[in-house]
Amino acid sequence: MWGSISNPARDIATAALPDKVVAAAAVAPDATSPQPPVDLVPHVPSNYPHFTPFVENVDQYKAMYQRSIEDPDGFWADIASEFHWHKKWDEKHTSWNFDVRNGPIHVEWFKGGLTNIAYNCLDRHVAAGRGDQPCFLWEGNEPKDSAVMTYSQVLGEVCRMANYLRSIGVGKGDAVSIYMPMVCELPIAMLACARIGAVHSVVFGGFSAEALAGRIADCKAKVLITSSGVMRGSKKIDLKAIADKAVEMAELNDEHLVSTVVVQEVKHAVTREHTHFVQGRDVWWEDALRGQPTEAEVEWVEADHPLFLLYTSGSTGKPKGVVHCTGGYMVYTFTTTKYVFNMAPGDVYWCTADCGWITGHSYLTYGPLLVGASQVVFEGVPTYPAADRCWQVVDKYKVKQFYTAPTAIRSLMRAGELYVKEHNRDSLRILGSVGEPINPEAWRWYHDVVGDGRCPIVDTWWQTETGGHMITPLPNTWQQKPGSATLPFFGVVPVIVDDKANELQGEAEGMLCIKQAWPSTLRTVYGDHDRYETNYFKPFPGYYFSGDGARRDKDGYFWITGRVDDVINVSGHRIGTAEVESALVAHPKCAEAAVVGFEHAIKGQGIYAFVTLMEGESYTEDLRRELIASVRSHIGAFAAPDAIHWAPGLPKTRSGKIMRRVLRKIASKEEDQLGDISTLADPSVVQQLVDLRGK
Ligand code: 6R9
């Protein structure tokens, strides 16, 4: 059965696939080819009668999947042929080593090929006559503010920005930092970098000056593109003031950084008159682009030329600059966008993520434009001015695919059904979830209330490092189970391993690893290939280690159980406990800090900090506030601890290692389930901590 297409009625699916993919997928694999770990559930007849999936059933999926992992060169080349390549890739274009025991880790896709992702996102569609189609449907923080930009208009603006960047000496391989709110100029700036082969580094607008400074300095950005300000709900944020401070801090150690700051004016937040401007260094976006032609030469880059770096938190040290490269990332984000959201050109799609995170890169700036969708770019928050904002916007633009995070779903669920029911939502076809495990209760509410039971849910598991969806349902192709990300996408070979890197078969629970390279595999950690190998490939030799735990059930479905390292997932944002700890310890009155996650009804996980003060300092509310402020200024408001627990001492082993397991139990009030604490150097600290709870 594996490898054959059993359903003959697949005309629609076939129409949506490159012919060669379908034809080759129908060829049964030989006996020596990798076999699926367990059999999959049979396809259950459709629950969604009005919905026709591109991949019609599980058998067709299996055939395509099988080919994708056995013949990656052929499978992905067929899809890549849909794009414009200035020079075609070599016949055998992939090569990788995922095993540290066999030498340096390296990954190559579309070797020999030259292309440009911005060209494929924009020029290709304009050339095909889609220039007048809306590309961005911008929806401001206030419901009265909105704007539409067509593909031609976006292309024109991208070219003008590209020309300007070139005029100030930015070229192939140079890093550009971007620190902006969700205005169309943000993806435009990203695409302008891509057009000239510059490497963008977007920093989420919620990060503090210090966090931005670290990211500017690490990649040695020549230019910073920012905005005057932003309204977040009813709060005004002076982004430029933060950016100024960041540039100053970054330059303390290296005066050759940022030579130009481009400032885009967000009039409804902070006007020009109220923006601090550094003569000779700063330039207004409008002035920079004035007189620049709306056409710009394309920089054709090698498929493995870096497209961007994006900083993400890990369990140790400072955030890592994850590097993604052009060709593989382009083909993979396109393919996942197309199949996971069942998206056709012209579909109206809305992803609520910010471009500061990977979801905004892959499923806002790049994937949907590669498909040719019209997409909502939303500046605001889901609960402003009221908790019905999302559904009002869905109706306004007739959104077909909606993609958001469980934390948003839970907060809207709490606001109540009435907000949803006030709006009709009949344009919706697919509902996506990303960022953290979705609890079955939120899943059901999303499915039954938001989608009126008509829309399949795609619970997509992936990471900054993976660039695109890894384990995800294909909508209406197989049966869903609330809370499970279900099955691997094409080209992805997930395995569950035990502590000793043994692969576990069948039903199993353990560490989630990936066995072979997929097109958008991260290529390195910027400036630190050793760290790349140590973090991702050394923990379980032979595999990429995700940092997540997972369980595989009897039907082969994957259930992500959450991070197994010291990373906390707060509202879908990854925060390293080490980063929060060092922000706390930076306060002169803090001697030591230990941070753990705890279950939070809305955010998924909250941040719980145990703090030991310097000798002679006392516990006060003011100090608690100062400690939280320290985290806000070192990282950003989104990383502020939810709880500070005073700790005269921390539970440590005799070798001085903090036992976080014990702290987690205390944070979640489960000290009756501490287990064996006999290895603690001083077991009495546990009772002291319990006594100080809530103090
Ligand atoms: C895309 C993104 C990655 C971490 C990842 C995991 C968690 C993301 C998930 C999920 C369960 C899902 N995660 N999607 N857990 N189910 N559908 O969020 O990237 O910010 O790098 O975070 O998020 O723990 O390891 P990133």
52: CB partners within 8 A, 6+ apart: 12
Least confident of 62-71, 307-316, 485-494: 307-316
- Statement: residue 533 has pLDDT above 70: yes
- Statement: residue 21 has pLDDT above 50: no
Give all strands of the β-sheet with 223-227 in edge-to-edge order: 282-284, 260-264, 223-227, 175-179, 199-202, 306-312, 320-325, 524-525
Q: Which residue among 174, 218, 565, 566 is the active-site one?
A: 565
From atom 3 of ligand 1, which residue's Cα is the shortest distance away? 463
Q: Ligand 1 centre and the CA of 435: distance in Å?
A: 4
d(CA 364, CA 353): 8
Mean pLDDT confidence for 623-630: 97
d(CA 351, CA 349): 7
Mean pLDDT confidence for 656-663: 88
Q: Which atom of ligand 1 is nearest to the CA of 463?
A: 19
Residue 41 — pLDDT band, cuts 50, 70, 90?
A: low
- Statement: residue 485 has pLDDT above 60: yes
Cβ density class 144-164: b for 16+ within 10 Å, e for less: eebeebbbbbbbbbbbbbbbb
What is the residue type of 401? Q
Mean pLDDT confidence for 488-501: 97
- Distances in Å between the Cα of 280 and the Cα atoms of 162, 284, 491 are 20, 11, 50
pLDDT given for residue 679 in this prediction: 82
From atom 19 of ligand 1, which residue's Cα is the shortest distance away? 463
From atom 12 of ligand 1, which residue's Cα is the shortest distance away? 461
User: What's the residue count for the chain?
Assistant: 695
From atom 26 of ligand 1, which residue's Cα is the shortest distance away? 463
Q: Which atom of ligand 1 is nearest to the CA of 573?
A: 20
pLDDT given for residue 16 in this prediction: 36
Residue 49 — pLDDT band, cuts 50, 70, 90?
A: confident
pLDDT given for residue 42 in this prediction: 46
Residue 225: phi, psi to the nearest 5? Answer: -110, 125
From atom 22 of ligand 1, which residue's Cα is the shortest distance away? 463
Q: Which atom of ligand 1 is nearest to the CA of 471?
A: 17
Q: Ligand 1 centre and the CA of 581: distance in Å?
A: 22
pLDDT cut 90: percent of the chain above it: 83
Q: Ligand 1 centre and the CA of 688: distance in Å?
A: 35
Give yes or no for a cis peptide into 385 (omega within 30° of 0): yes
Ligand 1 mutation target, pool 548, 571, 573, most atoms within 8 A of CB: 548
pLDDT given for residue 590 in this prediction: 95
d(CA 639, CA 382): 20
For the chain, list the domains and their CATH numbers: 58-381+461-537+546-552 (3.40.50.12780), 571-692 (3.30.300.30)
Q: Which atom of ligand 1 is nearest to the CA of 460?
A: 17
Helix (H, G, I), strand (E, B) or coil at 176: strand
Ligand 1 mutation target, pool 315, 322, 407, 436, most atoms within 8 A of CB: 436
Residue 681 — pLDDT band, cuts 50, 70, 90?
A: confident
User: Bridge partners of 348?
Assistant: 374
Ligand 1 mutation target, pool 204, 333, 462, 557, most atoms within 8 A of CB: 462
Averaged pLDDT score across all residues of the chain: 91
pLDDT cut 70: percent of the chain above it: 93
Residue position matching structure tokens 């500017």: 216
pLDDT given for residue 19 in this prediction: 34
Q: Do residues 504 and 498 lie in contact, with contact meaning Cβ atoms separated by under 8 Å?
A: yes
- Statement: residue 315 has pLDDT above 90: no
- Statement: residue 29 has pLDDT above 50: no
Q: Which atom of ligand 1 is nearest to the CA of 560?
A: 11
Could you say which DSSP state residue 2 is in? T
pLDDT given for residue 11 in this prediction: 29
Mean pLDDT confidence for 410-431: 95
Give all strands of the β-sheet with 558-563 in edge-to-edge order: 503-504, 494-497, 508-514, 544-552, 558-563
Q: Which atom of ligand 1 is nearest to the CA of 459?
A: 17
Q: Ligand 1 centre and the CA of 370: distance in Å?
A: 23
Residue 46 — pLDDT band, cuts 50, 70, 90?
A: low
- Statement: residue 8 has pLDDT above 90: no
From atom 11 of ligand 1, which residue's Cα is the shortest distance away? 437
Q: Which atom of ligand 1 is nearest to the CA of 464?
A: 21
Q: Ligand 1 centre and the CA of 550: distance in Å?
A: 12
**Binding pocket residue ranges, ligand 1, CB within 6 Å:** 312, 357-359, 433-437, 459-464, 485, 546-548, 560, 562-563, 569, 572, 574
- Statement: residue 15 has pLDDT above 80: no
CA angle 563-438-315, nearest 5°?
Answer: 15
Ligand 1 mutation target, pool 560, 561, 638, most atoms within 8 A of CB: 560
Ligand 1 mutation target, pool 569, 571, 603, 605, most atoms within 8 A of CB: 569
- Statement: residue 354 has pLDDT above 90: yes
More confidently predicted of 351 and 659: 351
Mean pLDDT confidence for 202-206: 96
pLDDT given for residue 338 in this prediction: 98
Mean pLDDT confidence for 183-196: 98
Q: Ligand 1 centre and the CA of 436: distance in Å?
A: 5
Mean pLDDT confidence for 559-569: 92
Q: Ligand 1 centre and the CA of 307: distance in Å?
A: 22
Q: Ligand 1 centre and the CA of 215: distance in Å?
A: 22
d(CA 155, CA 159): 6
Residue position matching structure tokens 């989608």: 451
Q: Ligand 1 centre and the CA of 275: distance in Å?
A: 37
- Please, what is the angle between helix 621-634 and helix 577-585, to 10°? 120
From atom 17 of ligand 1, which residue's Cα is the shortest distance away? 461
Quote the pTM value.
Answer: 0.91
Mean pLDDT confidence for 373-387: 95
Q: Which atom of ligand 1 is nearest to the CA of 359?
A: 1
- Statement: residue 1 has pLDDT above 60: no
Mean pLDDT confidence for 473-491: 94
From atom 15 of ligand 1, which residue's Cα is the shortest distance away? 436
From atom 1 of ligand 1, which residue's Cα is the shortest distance away? 463
Q: Ligand 1 centre and the CA of 467: distance in Å?
A: 11
Clarify whether 622 is annotated catalytic.
no
Q: Ligand 1 centre and the CA of 472: distance in Å?
A: 12
